[in-house]
Amino acid sequence: MRLVIDGLASIRSGRPVFSGLGLVLEAGEALAIMGPNGAGKSSLLRIVAGLLPASEGRIQLEGGDVDTPLAEEAHYLGHRDALKPSLTPLETLGFWQSLLGRPLETPQKALEQVGLGHTANLPSAYLSAGQKRRLALARLLIAHRPLWLLDEPTSALDAASEVMFNGLVMAHLASGGMVMAATHAPLGFACRTFTLGGRS
């Protein structure tokens, strides 16, 4: 399986964000998307996730189920953690698992993997910013999606949580998964780097 992006362009509010963008992401590979604010890192991830339209170009997941849209093969983790304060972490992950389908880990096990097992029945409003981010990351574990699209994934994470996150990513890659991560900071796992406006 591999992700192929060819000739991709984005125009937002009449302003060109990027154009002629092309890249290939192979199974078991991670790609860090770099660039200054406004370069289009978040827009690129949102286009691949199916949340924004591309102005032109082609995106294809080769080797996937031809009847499954790309958006249903990808987990998208944005800047916001997408949590309802009144729901517990267990309820939150249960909701996402029923919505996403293709169950992988149980909600309780996913919480334990991100170090939140003890918060399972606590309203999410009581979680710290770092705990909320870890709860958002747990969503990656409850449903099988080969492509992870991560926007500043280590935001609000302390050093220990970053180590935990790196372990989750490496396990996903080892299973043949793929990761695209928009980031300003170096990531703690092996990845290629794609800089909007040039390649490095």
Query: What residue ranges do the domains of the chain occupy?
Result: 2-199
The fraction of the chain above a pLDDT of 90, given in percent, is 70
Q: For residue range 114-142, what is the model confidence (pLDDT) as tens digits?
A: 999 999 999 999 999 999 999 999 999 99
Neighbours of 159 (CB within 10 A): 9
Contacts of residue 196, Cβ cutoff 8 Å, sequence gap at least 6? 18, 21, 33, 34, 35, 39, 40, 41, 44
- How many other CB atoms are there within 10 angstroms of residue 126's CB atom? 10
Residues 6+ apart with CB under 8 A from 55: 9, 10, 11, 19
- Predicted confidence at residue 199, as pLDDT, reads 40
Q: Which two tokens stand for residue 187?
A: 């990531």
pLDDT value, residue 197: 66
Higher pLDDT, 182 or 65: 182
Region class of 35: left (phi > 0), else alpha (psi between -120 and 50), else beta = left
CATH topology classification for 2-199: Rossmann fold (3.40.50)
Q: What percent of the chain stands above pLDDT 70? A: 98
Question: Is the pLDDT reported for residue 190 higher than 90?
Answer: no
Q: What mean pLDDT do residues 2-13 have?
A: 91
Mean pLDDT, the chain, whole residue set:
91
